[in-house]
Chain A
Amino acid sequence: EDKVVQSPLSLVVHEGDTVTLNCSYEVTNFRSLLWYKQEKKAPTFLFMLTSSGIEKKSGRLSSILDKKELFSILNITATQTGDSAIYLCAVGQGGSEKLVFGKGTKLTVNP
């Protein structure tokens, strides 16, 4: 059975801390891994990763994929209260447009 596992499930930090969110997967015919940020409404797209070892970066957020070990990490440096959200990891499979989602990591950044 295809599965995506995120850890930790929840995390509470103080502003300025750096956090690392984990996503491991076991899916058939892996094509891509995506990170989304979900606040009160629908998820917003952060990154799409298809190749191992290539870091994608956007401001204080960065992400990298390891296709050999079947995992990805999402790093957030100098966290701010606005980073508080649920971060979802999803994996796309070849031959399908569907995404398999993990349960998410709920990040709370306290001032």
Chain B
Amino acid sequence: GAVVSQHPSRVICKSGTSVKIECRSLDFQATTMFWYRQFPKKSLMLMATSNEGSKATYEQGVEKDKFLINHASLTLSTLTVTSAHPEDSSFYICSARGVTSYNSPLHFGNGTRLTVT
């Protein structure tokens, strides 16, 4: 089945630094990937839709200058949390669809636990 790899799985950084999270589709090409954020005991909140070769589409309330998304190839999307603050600490998950078809489910990466000290 479709495999999505996310790296790193866990990162601790100091306030003010930037952190890059990678999302790779290992055995398929993904023209679109999605980035979610999950707070403790809460559901997944869609942050942005990452489109290969074009700008990401951000959801309302998500700062595009703070959460930089790059989708440079059909198998890789990156999320960079710039000038991280403790309130950015969260669980970030990416997902991708196996084929460009609405009839195939999304597959998720294993997530990245970000802790900003």
The answer to whether A97 touches B110, judged by C-beta atoms less than 8 angstroms apart, is no
- Contact of A45 with B103 at beta-carbon distance under 8 Å, contacts A97-B32, A97-B49, A97-B97 already known: no
A residues less than 8 Å from B42 (CB atoms): 103
What band does the interface of chain B fall in when counting residues whose beta carbon is under 8 Å from A? Answer: 20 to 34
B residues less than 8 Å from A110 (CB atoms): none
Q: Which of B43, B107, B110 contacts A88 (CB 8 A)?
A: B43
Q: Which of B9, B44, B102, B109 contacts A92 (CB 8 A)?
A: B102
The answer to whether A32 touches B111, judged by C-beta atoms less than 8 angstroms apart, is no
Q: Restricting to A60-111, which residues have a CB under 8 Å from any CB of B?
A: 88, 90, 92, 94, 97-99, 101-104, 106
What band does the interface of chain A fall in when counting residues whose beta carbon is under 8 Å from B? Answer: 20 to 34
B residues less than 8 Å from A97 (CB atoms): 32, 34, 49, 97, 102
Majority DSSP secondary structure for residues of B touching A = strand
The answer to whether B49 touches A45, judged by C-beta atoms less than 8 angstroms apart, is no
- A41 to B102 Cα, complex, angstroms: 25
- A51 to B61 Cα, complex, angstroms: 34
Seen from chain A, the residues whose Cβ lies within 8 Å of a Cβ on chain B are 31-32, 34, 36, 41-45, 48, 50, 88, 90, 92, 94, 97-99, 101-104, 106
